[in-house]
Every structure is written in structure tokens, then in C-alpha cells.
Amino acid sequence: MRSCGRTKFERRPLKTFAELDLIAPVQKALADENYKSPTPIQAKTIPSAIRGRDVLGCAQTGTGKTAAFAVPILNRLGSKNRKALPNHPFVLALAPTRELAIQIGESFSTYAAHLHLRQAVIYGGVNQMRQVRALNRGAHILVATPGRLLDLMNQGHIHLDQLDVFVLDEADRMLDMGFLPDLKRIIRQLPQQRQSLFFSATMPPNIVKLSQTLLTNPVSVDVTPKRVSVEAIEQQVHLVPRQGKQALLQQILKSPGVVQTLVFTKTKRRANVVTKQLIRKGIGATVIHGNKSQGARQRALEDFRTGRVSVMVATDVAARGIDIDGISHVINLDIPIEPEAYVHRIGRTGRAGAEGVAMSFCSPEERGDLRAIEKLIEQKIPVVSGELHSNTDQQHPATITPKNSRDRGHRNAVSKSSRNASSQHQSARAGQKHSGDRTRKRRQPENGKPHRKQDRAKQATGSGQGEIKLITHKGFGFIGNGRDKDLFFHRSAVEGTRFEDLQQGQQVSFTLGQGPRGPCATNVQVL
């Protein structure tokens, strides 16, 4: 990953929001939220954006960049006092995920609390009728994901000819999820006379090229460090056999100082199982992944955000758009296969200057993935407990405490608890095994319908990569992965992009699953 490079800053950085020539309703909304001093991205972006300049911003999620573009946009709209036009928004903000789109919409609502402005938030996975009605009534601000935006544009519900401001948020993630063709189609519909605000966490060549097609003489703002941003986060590795991970997780979650925790798993099925086991142990937990309905995902996020539950179990794709303050711990129950995913995961904590703790549970089979992560972040992650053995049935060894461990109050308590938990793995594993057996026997599908007999067969496991061999108009396709027989996949198994945007020859990753007629591919993602 590359940083954004050199920057052009304002000569005198903004110290307080009161220094800005903002209209009274916006100032009042900021005061209501007790916002006095801007974050670096806000201080370097807002003055230029207020003057109508295009902005190229390089910043991680959680640095306050939503306010960096929302405040000047609302100041502009509030000053003009224009009536909303049916199906013709004045502002378009694009986000890569439904969760992020919803959060951007909530931020606009907060900062526009004293303005008479309408907004619409549109995304896929839900019925479009309510969204269409909001557009027909007229919306000053439209927040959207690319797929649903194009769908409604093609149906004639959205026209961009009156657009004043265009915002592209998390551009690098857009491209990672395969949205470049959609973005190009949207960009062609934008009016020439507009202000564009472009934000990305990294600036690889394809992002630079995209920004050049969108921006005119932009002000460049870079608030990212020279290397991957993990310095504000205390990182730990617990070396533990796979069978001992659940016991260690439960011990850590019950430790003092562990307030709000995000737990990552590799698969949706594992996320469901882990969540059920935590609830059974009296730990308030919820789960979010791609198979959950939009309503269920929103409820899970709200329960976690408000503190009704202290633990959220998530997969990578579902959690990418999560932007919640106050997450004290991120726990990688499974080490991610892609090193970049590690950075995105632990970036959910240690936000906006706060400190955070990131724990990774590494089994012997995951040693290679851990080494790849350390290479990416250019540092060794301290080991706080355990040793790796090729034979996972060996007794778990004594604790290893790193020499460079930092003394940070409650974190020492957490590490101590973690070390105690690791010494209890052997006794806990037997009970966990029986509990896991009961969980598997009781497991029911989320829709409440009984499984067919074929579905009760043992699931195939593992992951792989391959090439899309065939895409059909009936909503399924086949992936070639070097096996004798190509793997079937259904459109519901595709994550991160629309099934309609898949093409023959694309390289994809997948999880090997078991369908009614044999092995199939799930969790299909474009590489």
C-alpha cells in the first residue's frame, strides 16, 4: 500500500470550529455535539472545501473525514436555502457499503439538525420502494452505494444534472470490491460544473488515475502516516491451538477493562457458532455478516453502538464499513489470510487519537499468515502467551511475556487475564468439545426452516482461489480451481460486488462448502 504522498496544507491550520465562517445552524449543531477542536483531516479540509475547492483527501476511516466533507456541504446548502427537487439531488455521496452509507446519512442528519434539508440514503439488499418515495419527494442530499444508485438511475428515479457537490468516500475500498465499472458509469453522468471531494485511505496508481478524472486543481490533504497506521494500537499475539481459542476468548471478554470488543472470524458459519457460544456463557454478543438481512445488520450495529451488547462477532466484508467510537479491543479469533485485512480489522479500535488493543489468536496452521502480516506492517507483533506446537494435543506451555510490553493500566490486567486463560486451555477444551458437539446437533438454519437430509452432511472446509468459468443469467456460475470438476456457486454466495458485474475469467477467492448436490463455493469475492 502506498501513502498519498506530499501534501499542500493551509498556511495556518484551523484550531477551533469557531474560527470558521459557518452559518449559525451549522455552528449550533457542532456545539450541540460538543465539537470544539477539529481533527487533522477536518482542519486541513474544511476551509478549502468551504471556498469551493476540489479536495483530494488521504485518511483512514475513523479520523473524522465524514464531518470534513459534511460540514462544508451543509454550510453551502444552508446558505443557498434552495427547495429540494424531485429526483434531482444537489449533493451525491458515494460509499462502498450499506453500513457506511447509513453512517454517513446519520452524520449528515446530526450536523443538519437545525437546517430544513432533506436527504435520502439508498443501498441494496432491501426493497427499493421506500427509497423511491424519498427521491420522489425531493432530497437535497443523496447518500448511496454504487449498485443501487445505478439501478435507480436506469429506472429514471435519479438524475444528476442538478448536482453541485460529488463525494467519493473510501475510493480504494470501492476498487477492492470491484466497483470500478460502476464508478465509471456514474462519473459519466456527472455535470462538468461541480465540486468534487475525493477520499481514500491509500493512493495506488489506479486510485490516482481515478482521482485525475474527477478533480480539477485539487487541494491535497494527507493525514496518514508514512507506513501502515498501527502505532496507536497495542498489538498482541496469543499462540493457541484452534481447540483452545473459544476458552481463551471467553476468559478475555470477562476481564476488567474489556469494554467493547469486535471479534473477527474467517467464515459466516463460524461467526454464528461463536456468537451462540458466547451468549450461552452469559456474554452479551451479536453477529454481523453477509447472510444477515439489512434489518438484522442494522439492529446488530445499533445494539453494539449503544452498549446493549458488549461484543460483536463479524466477518471481514461485513465489518469494513463499521465506524463506531469506543471499541476498546479487536480480537482476531482467526488470523486473516490477506495481510491487508489485518490492518482494516485492527483499525476498528484506536480511533480518532484513542488507544486500543488488538489481540490475535494464532494456531500452528496460521503461522504463515502471521508472518505475512508482520512483513506488511514492518514490525514483529509481541507474543504475550503460549508457544506453537505442530501437535495441538500437547499440553499448552507456560506463558511467554514480551520484553517490550507496554505498561498501560488496564491492558496489563487484560494480558494477565489472557495468560491465566491460556493456562486453563487444557481443562477447558474437553468441556468446549462437548458444548461444540451439542451446538452442531442443535444448529438450525437462520430462516427457521428445517434442513434437508443432504444439508446435514458434514461440511467441506477450507478456502481457495480460482477463475470464473461460466456465468449464467439464471443466477449461478462455476469456478475452476484446478480440480477435475468446476465448483458451483449461487448468486447469494457472492460478497463485495453484484453478481451481475461478475465476468468470465475473473480471479476470485472462495470458501469450500457443501451443497445438496456436493461441494460448492461460498463467500465468493473478486480478487
240-266 confidence digits (pLDDT tens): 998 899 999 999 998 888 888 999 998
Per the structure, the count of domains in the chain is: 3
**Whether 188 and 243 share a structural domain:** no
pTM equals 0.53
Residue-wise over 406-416: b if at least 16 C-beta within 10 A, else e? eeeeebeebbb
Q: In the chain, what's the furthest Cα-to-Cα distance? A: 71
Domain limit, last residue, from 369, 404, 439: 404
Q: Residue holding cell 432530497?
A: 139
262 and 144 in a common domain: no
pLDDT for residue 341: 77
* Domain hosting residue 478, numbered range: 457-526
Query: Quick one: average pLDDT of 256-277?
Result: 89
* 413 within domain boundaries: no
237 and 373 co-located in one domain = yes
Per-residue pLDDT at 13: 65
CA distance 386 to 398: 6
pLDDT of residue 409: 38
| 194 in the same domain as 51 | yes
pLDDT at 18 over 80: yes
In a domain, 506, yes or no: yes
Q: Is 321 or 209 the better-scoring residue by pLDDT?
A: 209
Read off the pLDDT of residues 382-417 as tens digits, 9 standing for 90 and up: 998 876 443 333 333 333 333 333 333 344 444 444
Residues 152 and 203 in one domain: yes
Residue 145: name the closest of 170, 162, 163, 112 by CA. Answer: 170
- Rounded Cα distance between 499 and 147, Å, is 11
Residue 476 inside a domain? The answer is yes
Query: Same structural domain for residues 254 and 218?
Result: no
CA distance 527 to 525: 6
Q: What's the pLDDT score for residue 158?
A: 97
Q: What is the pLDDT of residue 350?
A: 66
Q: Is the pLDDT of residue 346 over 50?
A: yes
- Look at residue 435 and tell me if it is in a domain: no
Position 319 pLDDT exceeds 90: no
| pLDDT over threshold 50, residue 125 | yes
- Confidence at residue 249, expressed as pLDDT on a 0 to 100 scale: 94
277 and 348 together in one domain: yes
**Claim to verify: residue 243 and residue 339 sit in the same structural domain:** yes
Residues 171 and 268 reside in one and the same domain: no
Same structural domain, 247 and 215 = no
Residue 527's Cβ-count burial label (10 Å; 0-12, 13-18, 19+) is exposed
CATH code of the domain covering residue 106: 3.40.50.300
For residues 151 and 130, what is the distance between their CA atoms, to the nearest angstrom? 15
Instruction: Look at residue 298 and tell me if it is in a domain.
Output: yes
Please report which residue ranges of 35-81 form alpha helices under DSSP H. Answer: 40-50, 65-80
Inside any domain, residue 227: no
Q: What is the CATH number of the domain that holds 467?
A: 2.40.50.140
Report pLDDT for 14.
75
Which of 226-230, 300-304, 386-390 has the highest mean predicted lDDT (pLDDT)?
Answer: 300-304
Q: What pLDDT does residue 400 have? A: 31
pLDDT at 239 over 80: yes
pLDDT recorded at residue 466? 85
The span from the CA of 467 to the CA of 505, in Å, is 6
Ranked by mean pLDDT, which of 37-41, 86-90, 252-256, 294-298 comes out on top?
86-90
Residue 57 predicted with pLDDT over 80: yes
Check whether 44 has a pLDDT greater than 80.
Answer: yes
131/258 same-domain check: no
Check whether residue 170 and residue 98 sit in a common domain.
Answer: yes
How far are the Cα atoms of 133, 374, 418, 497 from residue 239, in angstroms, in the given order? 53, 15, 11, 35
Average pLDDT, the chain: 79
| Residue 42 one-letter amino acid | Q
Residue 444 lies in a domain: no
Last residue of a domain, one of 404, 420, 437: 404
Q: Is residue 310 part of a domain?
A: yes
Percent of the chain scoring above 70 in pLDDT: 77
Note the pLDDT of residue 395: 35
Q: What is the pLDDT of residues 436-488, one digit of tens each?
A: 444 444 444 444 444 443 333 333 445 778 888 888 766 788 888 765 578 88
The three-state secondary structure class of 504 is: coil
